[in-house]
Amino acid sequence: MSGIWQIHAFREGNTRTTAVFTILYLRDLGFNVENDIFAEHSWYFRNALVRANYRNALKNIDYSPIFLERFFRNLLLGDGWDLRNRYLHINATEELKSQPNFSTLQAPNKYPTSTQQVQDKLHTENSNIIKLLQAIGEDEKSVKTMMSVVGMKDRVSFLYNYLTPAINEGYVRMLYPNSPRHPRQKYLLTAKGAALFQELQKRKV
Q: What would the pLDDT profile of 161-203 be if each residue is shown by its tens digit?
A: 999 999 988 899 998 887 888 889 999 998 888 888 988 888 7
- The DSSP secondary structure of 158-188, one letter per residue, reads HIIIIIHHHHHTTSEEESSTT-TT-TT--EE
pLDDT band at 23, cuts 50/70/90?
very high
Q: What is the mean pLDDT of residues 63-84?
A: 86
97 versus 49: which is more confidently predicted?
A: 49
Residues 6+ apart with CB under 8 A from 149: 135, 141
The predicted pLDDT at position 49 comes to: 92
* H or E element, residue 189: strand 187-189
pLDDT score of 136: 95
Q: Could you give the dihedral angle defined by the CA atoms of residues 180, 185, 190 and 196, in that order, rounded to the nearest 10 degrees?
A: 120
The whole-number pLDDT of residue 147 equals 95
C-alpha dihedral sign at 82, 103, 51, 123: negative
How many other β-carbons are positioned within 10 Å of the β-carbon of residue 152?
A: 19
Asked if 137 contacts 143 with a C-beta cutoff of 8 angstroms, the reply is no
Domain ranges, ordered by start, for the chain: 2-104, 127-204
Question: pTM of the entire structure?
Answer: 0.47
Looking at the chain, the whole-number percentage of residues with pLDDT higher than 70 is 83
99-152 confidence digits (pLDDT tens): 444 444 443 343 343 333 333 445 777 889 999 999 999 999 999 999 999 999
Pick the CATH number of 127-204 from 1.10.10.10, 3.30.590.10, 3.90.550.10, 3.90.1150.10: 1.10.10.10
Taking each helix axis from N to C end, the angle separating 42-53 and 66-77, rounded to the nearest 10 degrees, works out to: 140
- Among 118, 190, 132, 124, which Cα is nearest to 161's? 132
- What is residue 31's predicted lDDT score, i.e. its pLDDT? 85
Residue 91: predicted pLDDT: 65
- pLDDT at residue number 181: 83
Predicted pLDDT of residue 205: 57
Percent of the chain clearing pLDDT 90 (strictly above)? 27
Whole-number mean pLDDT of the chain? 81
Per the DSSP assignment, residues forming a β-bridge with 173 are: 188
Collapse the DSSP code of 37 into the 3-class scheme (helix H, G, I; strand E, B; otherwise coil) and give the result: helix
Distance CA 26, CA 63 (A): 24
